[in-house]
Structure 1
């Protein structure tokens, strides 16, 4: 029996990340043919990716390699990107979040690609950091490109809110900033976000839209996250409050040291990122009031953060913090003072 024709031919960037892998699965499940462009790794050829995926290798920051070894002069219906800088450091952010994406967009345009789905971030609504400006600069280029676009801005990821699980298992307090009610988010799982990204290829309501998206249920504060973890562990809640002013003092000190060493400059940037997430909600920002609005933040999917916490504590799930270790690292810095 002849094989059925794929619904669409998709170039996927960022397939080696957790969200990228989930998105690859979602695209394949819909019958798309997916080509993944990955950084070469001599120790792992497929990185656990499905056999149905076509893997190509090269350096994503090299436009010639991307064109020659990735697109290969072939025809694609869509470009989907889950690619993002790992650390948020300015040089890396502009190289990955902006320049690499811009090169991919230009190659796609030259080869007749008609559509792009971009994984961005909801935090670009109030840009104070280099990676946010880099993402916004590419979003603007994509909007002006003439391609049909869907710019997906998810709220917090489960893995980014799991950095303190190990602390609590060791009997340590859950760290909060202020009273733990300063911020809130609607966390979304990798699988639910992947389904949403894949749906953007076919859903006309997603065409030429900026799409904030969160997971199911009401917005959750850091204090509520801690209370849920203690409840699941069968422990009495134990919190330690960190003043925002202390973070400011640490950032100022690291900034001074950063004048002497790139190492300390990088740590200062990491602390700034941590402070941002400690003081800004990952929800839709109402431009008229300047307030974050949980009711205006759309929801999708069925997976909840608290179910994920339960799986983690039963060792039925694991989390590789990766770039999201910034949250755990920030907590570690605070607990040391």
Structure 2
């Protein structure tokens, strides 16, 4: 494999690719605060928030507090050097909320006496596996949520708001099947539910900003028009999630949601970045078959080496996002339908690009890089 292909895979995040529906490390918000809604003055609820340390979870905590809800954030204690400072920083970022320390992936946590006697009106979960590997997906996207749901039922919670992913419409990957399995359990639980399936996140579409700034070409599969999405910002998605608590039209519903404006392709994303930087467009087209080869090789090696099998799954995730649009899937027409994909909010990806190009709040993607 030549150097350019290795560089391309690093941008893809392979190994290290993750779904664009996963919780991510703490970072600054990627957008401005959305306007107040007409139900903000209503009585607040006591809400247990899962996944509060991700960018979506952090935005959801802010949205809940802004609307007068009492927020308890379940957070796993950090281990190792610097953990105390990290926990202090987290407390500052979640100022106004109560932090409950515990590990959602441990069954014993959900059975402890303090939690069993806690009173919550609702659970809002932004929790998700970090890497999307099969073991992690079934441990977090499914099992941890099942335990949370059982605890919610036992303590009288009435409403469970679940952040899922629009890509579960065409499940081919372990994390998609894990999410769908919990969705089914939640629907059958008897609790009021709101299952929110967002499209692409701004952060997941920021990966080539530095590359283009340095004068390198924008990488895309094929002609850059194989896929399209309607990206939604952290704050707009958080506003939609919190709105599920009061908007009865969102109760007992599966809710696909995207951001404002038309669907955009990778080609359009690249063109906009070059225009904002005042640079002539430069694109490098990469054949989808490259990922097919990588998946095949890693799958064979994975029969002997477990670590390679996990990387093969991560490569499959990369292949999925390279070939599938993040839009509502029309099962009858067998195509993605941008017009049928609902929009929410006011913040567009291109507005975010303009801010990031100026150096204003560009997201830190860390280990959760996605092409």
Of residues 45, 53, 56, the one that matches 1:16 is: 53
Offset of residue 137 of structure 1: 0.2
Q: Distance in 2 between matches of 1:70 and 1:181?
A: 52
Tell me which residue corresponds to 2:185.
141
User: Counterparts in 2 of 1:1-337, with a 5 A limit?
Assistant: 7-41=44-78, 42-43=83-84, 44-46=86-88, 47=90, 48-68=92-112, 71-322=115-366, 324-327=368-371
Q: Distance in 2 between matches of 1:151 and 1:104?
A: 15
**C-alpha offsets along residues 15-40 of structure 1, whole Å, 9 cap, x if unaligned?**
00000000000001111101111010
Offset of residue 5 of structure 1: 11
Q: 2:196–2:255: 8 Å Cα contact kept in structure 1? A: yes
Q: Distance in 1 between matches of 2:113 and 2:295?
A: 42
**C-alpha offsets along residues 96-147 of structure 1, whole Å, 9 cap, x if unaligned?**
0000000000000011100000000000000000000000000000000000
Question: Which deviates the most, 108-117 or 72-81?
Answer: 72-81
Q: 2:116–2:154: 8 Å Cα contact kept in structure 1? A: no
Secondary structure of the corresponding residue to residue 270 of structure 1:
helix
Pick closer, same or farther for the CA change 1:133–1:112 going to 2, 3 Å: same
Pick closer, same or farther for the CA change 1:324–1:187 going to 2, 3 Å: farther
Tell me which residue corresponds to 1:332.
none
Q: Distance in 1 between matches of 2:330 and 2:94?
A: 41
Query: Which structure is richer in relative contact order (CA contacts within 8 A, separation 6 or more)?
Result: 2
Structure 1 gap ranges (5+): 328-337
Question: Which deviates the most, 45-54 or 201-210?
Answer: 45-54
Q: Distance in 1 between matches of 2:172 and 2:355?
A: 35
Structure 1 segments (4+ residues) deviating >3 Å: none
Q: 1:79–1:115: 8 Å Cα contact kept in structure 2? A: yes
Q: Distance in 1 between matches of 2:296 and 2:42?
A: 58
Secondary structure of the corresponding residue to residue 151 of structure 1:
strand
Aligned residues: 324
Q: Distance in 2 between matches of 1:28 and 1:278?
A: 37
Offset of residue 319 of structure 1: 1.1
- Give the structure-1-normalised TM-score: 0.93
Pick closer, same or farther for the CA change 1:70–1:149 going to 2, 3 Å: farther
Q: Distance in 1 between matches of 2:307 and 2:272?
A: 36
Pick closer, same or farther for the CA change 1:200–1:235 going to 2, 3 Å: same
**C-alpha offsets along residues 184-235 of structure 1, whole Å, 9 cap, x if unaligned?**
0000000000000000000010000000000000000000000000111111
Q: 1:36–1:54: 8 Å Cα contact kept in structure 2? A: yes
Q: Distance in 1 between matches of 2:197 and 2:179?
A: 11
Offset of residue 262 of structure 1: 2.5
Pick closer, same or farther for the CA change 1:288–1:70 going to 2, 3 Å: farther
Pick closer, same or farther for the CA change 1:5–1:166 going to 2, 3 Å: closer
Secondary structure of the corresponding residue to residue 93 of structure 2:
coil
Secondary structure of the corresponding residue to residue 105 of structure 2:
coil
Secondary structure of the corresponding residue to residue 150 of structure 1:
strand
